[in-house]
Amino acid sequence: MNQYCDVAAEKVILSTLLFEPERIRTVSQSLRAGDFFFHAFQMIYDAMVALDSNGKPVYEDSIKSILIHQKAYNENALIDIMTASSASDLGGYITAVKEHALSRQIIAMGARMQGIDGFDTMSKATEYAAEINRMVETHVACDLNIVSVCDIPDGDTKFILRNWMPFPVGTVSLIGAPGGTGKSWTALQLGFRYLIESPNDKAALWLSEDPDYQTRSRSKSIATEILSSTLSQFRNAHIITTRPNPIVVNGKLDYERFWKMRKALRGYGLIILDPLRAFFGGDENSNTDANVFMNVLQDWASEDGITIILMHHSKKSDDDTIKSKIRGASAFVDAARTVYEISKVYANARIGELDMEQLHNRQFVLTKDNYGAMMILNNFKVTRHITPKKSALSTAVQIDYQMASMPYIG
Kindly state whether residues 251 and 216 are assigned to the same domain: yes
> Distance (Å, rounded) from C-alpha 213 to C-alpha 90?
42
Confirm whether 154 is domain-assigned: no
**Angle of helix 60-69 versus helix 75-82 axis, rounded to 10:** 160
Q: Which of 147, 160, 182, 171 is nearest to 388 (CA)?
A: 182
pLDDT at 398: 46
Contact 362, 317 (CB under 8 A): no
Domain CATH for 296: 3.40.50.300
Kindly state whether residues 126 and 210 are assigned to the same domain: no
User: What's the one-letter identity of residue 303?
Assistant: E
Residue 43 phi/psi, 5° resolution? -70, -40
Kindly state whether residues 131 and 164 are assigned to the same domain: no
The total number of structural domains in the chain stands at 2
Instruction: Work out the burial of residue 219: count CB atoms within 10 Å of its CB; fewer than 13 is exposed, 13-18 middle, 19 or more buried.
Output: buried
Confirm whether 2 is domain-assigned: no
Confirm whether 149 is domain-assigned: no
Q: Which of 260, 272, 267, 258 is nearest to 209 (CA)?
A: 272
> Distance (Å, rounded) from C-alpha 277 to C-alpha 273?
9
Stated as kind and residue range, the H or E segment containing 12 is: helix 7-19
Confirm whether 56 is domain-assigned: yes
CB-based contacts of 261-269 (< 8 A; 24+ apart in sequence) = 262/88, 262/300, 263/19, 265/204, 266/304, 267/202, 268/201, 268/202, 268/203, 268/204, 268/238, 268/306, 269/160, 269/194, 269/198, 269/201, 269/202, 269/203, 269/306, 269/307
Confirm whether 393 is domain-assigned: yes
Kindly state whether residues 168 and 133 are assigned to the same domain: no
Contact 75, 69 (CB under 8 A): no
Per-residue pLDDT of the chain (410 residues; tens, 9 = 90+): 456 788 889 999 999 999 899 899 889 888 999 899 989 999 999 999 999 988 888 989 999 999 999 999 999 999 999 988 888 888 888 888 888 888 877 777 666 666 555 445 545 555 555 555 555 555 554 556 778 888 888 888 999 999 999 999 999 999 999 888 999 999 999 999 999 999 999 999 999 989 999 999 999 999 999 999 999 999 999 999 999 999 998 888 887 788 889 989 999 999 999 999 999 998 999 999 999 999 999 989 998 999 999 999 887 655 555 566 888 999 999 999 999 999 999 988 788 888 899 999 999 999 999 999 999 999 999 999 999 987 665 554 444 444 444 443 43
Kindly state whether residues 195 and 320 are assigned to the same domain: yes
Last residue of a domain, one of 139, 172, 196: 139
Kindly state whether residues 40 and 189 are assigned to the same domain: no
Domain CATH for 84: 1.10.860.10
Q: Which of 165, 4, 217, 27 is nearest to 99 (CA)?
A: 4
Cα dihedral 378, 380, 386, 389 sign: negative
Alpha helices in 55-120 (DSSP H): 60-69, 75-82, 91-113
Confirm whether 148 is domain-assigned: no
Kindly state whether residues 285 and 346 are assigned to the same domain: yes
Q: Which of 192, 151, 156, 157 is nearest to 173 (CA)?
A: 157
Kindly state whether residues 110 and 197 are assigned to the same domain: no
List of residues 6+ apart from 279 with CB closer than 8 A: 206, 244, 246, 247, 248, 273, 293
Kindly state whether residues 35 and 121 are assigned to the same domain: yes
Kindly state whether residues 135 and 170 are assigned to the same domain: no
Q: Which domain covers residue 392, as residue numbers?
A: 159-405
Confirm whether 147 is domain-assigned: no
Confirm whether 259 is domain-assigned: yes
Cα dihedral 314, 315, 321, 323 sign: negative
Percentages (nearest 5) of helix, strand, coil residues in the chain: 50, 15, 35
The model's pTM: 0.66
Max CA separation in the chain (angstroms): 111
pLDDT at 110: 66
